[in-house]
Structure 1
Amino acid sequence: MSFNSPWLLWALFAASVPIIIHLVNRWRHRSVPWAAMEFLLRAARETRGTKKLLHYLILALRVMAVAALVTAFARPLLGSFFGWGSSGLNEVLLVLDRSASMDARPDKTSSLRDAIPPLVESTFAQLGHCRLSLLDSATGTVTQIPAPEALADLTVSKTTDGGADIPALLQKAIPYLEESGAGKTEIWIASDMQASSWKPDSPLWPGVRQRLAALPLPPSIRIMALRDRPESNRGIRVRQAQVNNGKLVLDLEVLRQGFNPNQPEDVPVQLSVDNASSSATLQLAGENTSIRKEIPLPQGKESGFGFVALPHDDFIRDDISFFTFAPKPLANILIFGPSGEVGKTLSLMSAPPGLPGRKATMPGNTREAQANLASQSMVVWYGPPPRAEMEKKLQTFIEEGGIALFLPDDTEHGTRHSFLGVSWGATETAPSEQYYRLETWDRQRGFLRDGSDQTPIPANRLRAVRRKPLLGKYRTLASWDDGSCALAQVRAGTGSALFLGTLPRYSWSNLADGHLLLPLLQRMADRGAERFSTSISLRVNDASLPQSATDIPVRLDNAQGSHPSGSPADTAGVYRLGAQTYAVNRPWPEDMPDQITDEKLHLLLPEASISSMQSAEEAPSLVQEAWKLFLFFVLACLLMEALLCLPGQTAKRPSPTTRP
C-alpha cells in the first residue's frame, strides 16, 4: 500500500491518546478500604472479568478509529493490478506493444497508447525505489527509463505503423533478466491484446514459459489489457498495382467493421499518383469489398508511386495504403525433370503462347540448371527430389526469394529423401470408377485465393485416380475430399516451396486441364518475378528493407499530414534509397480486430495477472484512492464503541403487594 500524503502517517501516534487517557483515569483514583462496600465488591467480583474484557474492547475500538482516521487523511492507494503493494521489488520491465492498432481512438480523443504513460506514472509510486526499463516492439531492445513521467516524451514509446510479436519480445527479455541480476522483477505487458500481436499458435511460447520458470527469481507477469476498440472502422489496402495498356490498375480491398453488412454505402477515396491527387467514390458492401480501379496514365508513363486514402475515422493508420508501380519484369521459369508429357504440359501452362512476360526453359542436365538458377523467377521440379549440390543451390534460391513447385515422380514407391522436410509416400490408387476430388482450398490468401471480383478458381474440378501422400511438416493449401493434403507449402527465408500430390498426366489426374495448375503456375511466376522488380512493397520495420551505410531513405509521398514523417523502420510511406523506390505499409494483420481472450491468455502465461482497462477521456489508473473505505471503517468502529458503552438493562423489581 502507498499513500499520496505519507508524511501524515506521523499522526498515527495520536492512536495512543485513548490509551493515555485510560491510564491517566486509572491513576487518578485511589483505592480506600471501606467496610460497607465489601459486600458489594464480593457481589460484583463474579462479573469483573467480563467487564474488564469489555473495557479493553472499547479501548481497542477507539484506538483503531483514530488510526483509521489518520490513514484516511494520508490518502492510501489500492489497486487490483498490484494488490497490496510489491514490497522488495527491484525492477519493472515494461514490454510495450507499439503496433499500429495501438493508435485506435475508441473515445475519439486519445489513442490506446496514450493511456500507458499515465497508467505507469500513477501506479509506479507504490513500488518505492524501483528501476523502470522498457522493451518495445519496434526496436526490440531494452531502454532504461530515468523516471516514469519521462515515458510519454520518449521516442521509443510512440506508436508505429509496424506490428508486434509478444512471444518474440518475451524471448528477448529473458537474456536481459539473466544478465541484469536485478533481483525481484516484474514484467508488465501493455498491449491492445490483438491476436496478431500475441500469436497464440507461435512455437515460441513453450520455450518462453520454461525459460521464465528456470530463472533464479522467476518474475511476476502483469498484463495491462487495453481492450477498447472503435465501434466502427474502415481500412483500405492496395493488393496489387500494375500498368496495363496505358492505365494504372489498382486492386483494392476495403474492410468494414461495425457496419451493417447488408447496407451498401458510397465512400469517397483520395487517389494520389506521383503526388498528383484525384478523387473517386467506392461502393462498399459487406464486411470485405474487393475493387479494381483504373487510372489513366500520361503517355509513356510506366513507373511511379502513390497512395489511396479513405476519410479519417477513429483508427487513422489503416485509412491509407501506399504503392509503387513499374513495368513487369520478365518471369523466367525453369522446368526440370525427365523429358516427356509432364514437362511439355508444365512448360505450356507456365508460359502460354501469346502471353507476354513469360519464358519457360527446360535444361538438359543438372549442371545447366544450376548455371541458370540465379536468374530464374520460379522453378518447377518433377521427379525424384534434388540431391547433393543441386539441393543446396535450390534451397538457397528459395531462401533468397525464389518460388518452387515440386511434383512427385511416377514410381509406385515413396521417396526416401526429403526436401525442406517434405517427402512423398507410396502411390495410392482410387477404387474402381471413383476419384480423389479436391474439396477445400485457401480462398482468402495465397496462390489459390479468389479473384479480385471474389470469383473462386475452379479447383474443385480436379479429379485424381492416383496420388502420393505428402509427408512431413507443412502448411496445407488444398485438401482432398478425405481430408488428406493435396497441395502443401513450406516457407524458407523470403521464398517458399509448394508440393503437389499428383501429376498432370491423365493416367494420374486431370491436372493438365488447368483448373488448378494454370492459375497456380501463373500466380507463382508473378510472385517469383517480384524480386527482380524495381517496384517493391514492404512492411514497416521489415528485415528486408533496403540498407545503406552512407545514405538515408528520403520520403517521396505528400501524405505526411496523416502520417508523421519518419523512417521505414516505424512509418508507412514511399521512400527512395539511392536508385531504388519502394512502398512501405503497415502489416495487413493490423487491420484485423480479433483479440486474444483471457482464457487463451492463461494457457500461454498461466501465472499472469490480467487487468482489463477501458480507455476514456480521463486517463485511467491501475490504482484508486481508498480513503473512503477507511472513513467507513472509522464510522463502524465508533458505532460499535457506542453500542458497547450503552448501559445494560436492569432487572425489573416486582411491585410490592398490599395486604388487605
Structure 2
Amino acid sequence: MSFTSPWLLWALFTASIPIIIHLVNRWRHRSVRWAAMEFLLRAARETRGTKKLLHYLILALRVLAVAALVTAFARPLLGSFFGWGSSGLNEVLLVLDRSASMDARPDKTNSLRDTIPPLVKSTFDQLANCRLSLLDSTTETITQIPAPEALADLTVSKVTDGGADIPSLLQKAIPYLEESASGKTEIWIASDMQSSSWRPNSPVWSSVRQRLAALPIPPSVRIMALRDRPETNRSIRITQAQINNGRLVLDMEILRQGFDPNQPEEVPVNISVNNSVASSTLQLAGATTTIRKEIPLPQDKESGFGYVSLPHDDFSRDDISFFTFAPKPLANILINGPSGEAGKILSLMAAPPGLPGRKAAMPNTVHSGQFNLSSQALVIWHGPAPRADMEEKLKTFIEEGGLVLFLPDDTAHGTRRQFLGVSWGAMETAPADEYFRVESWDRQRGFLRDGTDQTPIPANRLRAIRRKPLAGKYRVLASWDDGTCALGQVRAGAGSALFLTTLPKYSWSNLADGHLLLPLLQRMADRGAERFSSAISLRVNDHALPQSATDVPMRMDDAQGSRPPGSPVDTAGVYRLGAQTYAVNRPWSEDNPDQLTDEKIHILLPDAAISAMQGGVENPSLVQEAWKLFLLIALGCLLLEALLCLPKRMAKRPTPANRL
C-alpha cells in the first residue's frame, strides 16, 4: 500500500485521543466507600468482567474509527502491483522487454507493448516525486525518462525484431543502482514472460539474486506479466538457402499454434527473389510443417537475396523470413600440433570424408611462423602454446573474423604463457571408476546451440578421465558436473578463441566420439568461412553484424513498405554494407510461445511481486485509490460503537394481578 499524501499519517496519533479521554475520566473520580453500596457491589461482581470487556471493545472501536478517518485523508492506494513498502519511493527502473513477441496483438488492436505506457503513466499519476528510468532489452542502456507520458513515443521503447535477455539486463542494472544512490528504488519488469527471454537455466540468476540482496537498500522487484497471446498464429522461417545445379533450394519450416493439428489447410505464401515476387500455396498439416521449395535461377545468377512471407495475422513479425544465397565458400582448416592420435582425429572431425566445402591441412613440416592465415576459416591449435611471433598473427587473424580452437598439451604441468588472458592449469585426473561429465552448456546461442528443430547436441555424453582447468577471464560455453569450465570462449574483434579443457585421446576422454567435438568444429568452420562469402544470415542485434565507421547499412528488400523502418540492430530485413549483403532475422526462439509460470519466477526471484496485466483494458491502472473504503470502515466502527453503547432493555415488571 502507498499513499498520495503520506505526511498526513503523522495525524494517526489522534487515534490515542479516546484513550486519553478514558484515562482522564478515570483519574478525576475519587472512590468513596459507602456501606449502603457494598451489598450492590457484591451483587454486580459476577457481571463485572463482561462489562469491562464491553468497555474495552467500545474504546477500541473509537480508536479504529479515528485511525481509519486519518488514513482516508492520506488517500491510500491499493493494487496487486504495490506492496506495503511503496510509499516514499524515489525511483522506478523500468526493465522493458522489446523482443519481437511483445508485438503480439491478443485483442487484434493493441500490441502487448502498447499496453505498458498507459499503465506506467496511470501509476505515476498516483506517485509523488518519483523518477522514472528505462533499461531496454535492445540498447541495454539506461535512459532517464523526463515524464511518464513520453514513454510511448520514445524509440528506445518500441518493439524490435530482436530477442531479450532478462537476467543479463538485471545484471547491467545493478551497477547503476550501486552508483545512483537514489534511495528507495523499485525495479519494474515489463515482459510477456516468454521463456526464451527469461532464460531460467542461465547461471547469471544466482549472481543477480546475491548482488541485489547486497545493495545498501535492496530494491523491490515487481513484474508486469503480459501473458495474453493470440488464439492462433502461424510463423515461418528459412532454415537453409543454397544453390544446387542452377536452382535455389529453400528449406522452410512453418509452425502453427492454436490450430487443430489433425486439420490440414492451404495457406498462400509470397516468395521474393531479388525483389521479384511470386505467389504459391503451401499445404500445412500438424503443428510443424517442413517444406523444400526449388526455384529456377537465371543462368548467370548465382547469388542474391529474398524473403518468404505468410498472410499477416495477430503477430505479424513472425510472418516473414529473409535469406541470402551464394555459392558456399571453401572452409580451409589449419591444424597445428604434433602428429598422432589427436591430430588425426581433429583432421577427421574438421573435414569428414564425403563432406564438400571442407579442407583440412596439417603442415607439420613448416615452421609455424610461416603459416598463411589470410585464407583460413578455422585454426585448431593443440600442443605447446604459440610463440610470440605466431601469437601476434593469431590475434590479428581473430580480430579480422577468424576462429581458433585451442586444446591443451599432453603434459601433467600447466602453461605459464597466456593467450588473450587465458592459460591452462595442471592436469587433473578423475577418481577411480569415475569421470568428469559435461552437465550444462549454452543451448540458446553460440556453437553449442540447439538445432533448428530445437534438438540439443548430445554434449552430455562427453566423459573425461583427464582435464586441464582454465585460468583467466572467459565466457563459459559448457561446464563439467562440478561446475568448472569444459569449454570457454574469448572474443576479440570480429572473431573469437575457444579453449577446450580435454583432448580427443581415449587416455583423456571420449571427445573423439564426436558428441561435442564434431558439431563444434563444423559450426566453427561454417562461421569462419562466412567472412569469405558475399551472403550471410544473422540475427537482429547480433554481435557479429558487419560494422563500418563511415557507411550506414542500406535496406535492399522490397518488403520494407510493409515493415517498420530501422537498422539491423532492431529490424529484420536484407541489408548491404559496402560489398557485403546479409540477411537479418528475428531469433527463432521468439517463435516459441512457452511462458514462465509464477512458481518458476519465484524460484528465480523469490521476493518478486507478480501482477497479471491485461491488454485492451480501458483506462488501465496498476493502482486504485482506497479512501472510500477507509471512510466506510470508520463509519462502520462508529455505528457498531453506538449499538454497543445502547442501554439494555429493562425487563417488564409484573402487575399486581400477575402476582396474585
TM bucket (normalised to shorter chain) is 0.7 to 0.9
Written as runs of structure 1 = structure 2, the 5 A alignment for 1:443-592 is 469=466, 472=469, 490-493=488-491, 494-495=495-496, 497=498, 502=504, 525-592=525-592
Written as runs of structure 1 = structure 2, the 5 A alignment for 1:142-541 is 142-339=142-339, 357-365=357-365, 367-368=367-368, 371-380=371-380, 384=383, 386-389=385-388, 390=390, 394=394, 397=397, 401-403=401-403, 416=414, 469=466, 472=469, 490-493=488-491, 494-495=495-496, 497=498, 502=504, 525-541=525-541
Alpha-carbon distance, 1:576 to partner: 1.8
User: Matches of 1:632 and 1:442 in 2, distance apart?
Assistant: 57
Evaluate the alpha carbon distance shift between residue 414 and residue 267 of structure 1 in structure 2; reply closer, same or farther with a 3 A threshold: farther
Q: Which moved more, 1:388-397 or 1:60-69?
A: 60-69
Aligned residue for 1:435?
Answer: none
Alpha-carbon distance, 1:209 to partner: 3.4
User: Matches of 2:545 and 2:176 in 1, distance apart?
Assistant: 27
- Code of the residue aligned with 1:589 in structure 2: it is S
Written as runs of structure 1 = structure 2, the 5 A alignment for 1:10-21 is none
User: Matches of 1:88 and 1:459 in 2, distance apart?
Assistant: 51
Aligned residue for 2:633?
Answer: 633
- Would you say how many aligned residue pairs link Structure 1 and Structure 2? 607
Alpha-carbon distance, 1:137 to partner: 1.6
**Once the two structures are superposed, what CA deviation does each residue of 1:161-217 show, in whole Å capped at 9, x if it has no partner?**
122222322233233333333222222222222232223333433443343334333
SS at match of 2:371: helix
Residues 240 and 251 in structure 2, CA contact (< 8 A), matched pair in contact too: yes
Alpha-carbon distance, 1:503 to partner: 5.7
**Once the two structures are superposed, what CA deviation does each residue of 1:588-627 show, in whole Å capped at 9, x if it has no partner?**
2222223333333334333333223233443542113436
Evaluate the alpha carbon distance shift between residue 467 and residue 116 of structure 1 in structure 2; reply closer, same or farther with a 3 A threshold: closer
Residues 489 and 497 in structure 2, CA contact (< 8 A), matched pair in contact too: yes
Alpha-carbon distance, 1:238 to partner: 1.8
User: Matches of 1:241 and 1:555 in 2, distance apart?
Assistant: 20
Q: Which moved more, 1:205-214 or 1:633-642?
A: 633-642
- Code of the residue aligned with 2:275 in structure 1: it is N
Residues 236 and 320 in structure 1, CA contact (< 8 A), matched pair in contact too: yes
User: Matches of 1:177 and 1:605 in 2, distance apart?
Assistant: 17
Residues 350 and 518 in structure 1, CA contact (< 8 A), matched pair in contact too: yes
Residues 64 and 634 in structure 2, CA contact (< 8 A), matched pair in contact too: no
- Code of the residue aligned with 1:596 in structure 2: it is L
Evaluate the alpha carbon distance shift between residue 612 and residue 355 of structure 1 in structure 2; reply closer, same or farther with a 3 A threshold: closer
Evaluate the alpha carbon distance shift between residue 337 and residue 219 of structure 1 in structure 2; reply closer, same or farther with a 3 A threshold: closer
Alpha-carbon distance, 1:641 to partner: 5.3
User: Matches of 2:135 and 2:322 in 1, distance apart?
Assistant: 29
User: Matches of 1:629 and 1:570 in 2, distance apart?
Assistant: 47
Q: What's the % identity of the aligned pairs?
A: 68
**Once the two structures are superposed, what CA deviation does each residue of 1:266-306 show, in whole Å capped at 9, x if it has no partner?**
43322111121122333444444433222211121111111
List gaps (5 residues or longer) in structure 2. Answer: 19-35, 471-475
Residues 225 and 611 in structure 1, CA contact (< 8 A), matched pair in contact too: yes
SS at match of 1:373: coil
- Code of the residue aligned with 1:80 in structure 2: it is S
Residues 195 and 594 in structure 1, CA contact (< 8 A), matched pair in contact too: yes
Aligned residue for 1:649?
Answer: 649
TM-score, normalised to structure 2's length? 0.74
User: Matches of 1:602 and 1:164 in 2, distance apart?
Assistant: 20
Aligned residue for 1:118?
Answer: 118
User: Matches of 1:120 and 1:452 in 2, distance apart?
Assistant: 37
Evaluate the alpha carbon distance shift between residue 207 and residue 356 of structure 1 in structure 2; reply closer, same or farther with a 3 A threshold: closer
Evaluate the alpha carbon distance shift between residue 606 and residue 408 of structure 1 in structure 2; reply closer, same or farther with a 3 A threshold: closer
SS at match of 2:133: strand
User: Matches of 1:111 and 1:265 in 2, distance apart?
Assistant: 27
SS at match of 1:281: strand
Q: Which moved more, 1:152-161 or 1:446-455?
A: 446-455
**Once the two structures are superposed, what CA deviation does each residue of 1:1-20 show, in whole Å capped at 9, x if it has no partner?**
6789x8xx9xx9xx99xx9x
- Code of the residue aligned with 2:528 in structure 1: it is G
Aligned residue for 2:473?
Answer: none
Aligned residue for 2:608?
Answer: 608
User: Matches of 2:441 and 2:557 in 1, distance apart?
Assistant: 38
Aligned residue for 2:21?
Answer: none
User: Matches of 1:364 and 1:76 in 2, distance apart?
Assistant: 79
Residues 511 and 517 in structure 2, CA contact (< 8 A), matched pair in contact too: no
Evaluate the alpha carbon distance shift between residue 70 and residue 353 of structure 1 in structure 2; reply closer, same or farther with a 3 A threshold: closer
User: Matches of 1:240 and 1:178 in 2, distance apart?
Assistant: 46
SS at match of 1:126: coil
- Code of the residue aligned with 1:298 in structure 2: it is P
Alpha-carbon distance, 1:66 to partner: 13
Q: Which moved more, 1:398-407 or 1:574-583?
A: 398-407
User: Matches of 1:325 and 1:522 in 2, distance apart?
Assistant: 19
SS at match of 2:599: helix
User: Matches of 1:577 and 1:193 in 2, distance apart?
Assistant: 35
TM-score, normalised to structure 1's length? 0.74
Alpha-carbon distance, 1:376 to partner: 0.7
Q: Which moved more, 1:150-159 or 1:612-621?
A: 612-621
Evaluate the alpha carbon distance shift between residue 261 and residue 370 of structure 1 in structure 2; reply closer, same or farther with a 3 A threshold: farther
Residues 118 and 620 in structure 1, CA contact (< 8 A), matched pair in contact too: yes
- Code of the residue aligned with 2:618 in structure 1: it is E
Residues 468 and 501 in structure 1, CA contact (< 8 A), matched pair in contact too: no
Evaluate the alpha carbon distance shift between residue 538 and residue 121 of structure 1 in structure 2; reply closer, same or farther with a 3 A threshold: same
CA RMSD of aligned residues (A): 5.3
Evaluate the alpha carbon distance shift between residue 128 and residue 267 of structure 1 in structure 2; reply closer, same or farther with a 3 A threshold: same
Evaluate the alpha carbon distance shift between residue 586 and residue 652 of structure 1 in structure 2; reply closer, same or farther with a 3 A threshold: same
**Once the two structures are superposed, what CA deviation does each residue of 1:24-71 show, in whole Å capped at 9, x if it has no partner?**
xxxxxxxxxxxxxxx99x999x999979x9799599769949986995
SS at match of 2:89: coil
User: Matches of 2:339 and 2:67 in 1, distance apart?
Assistant: 98
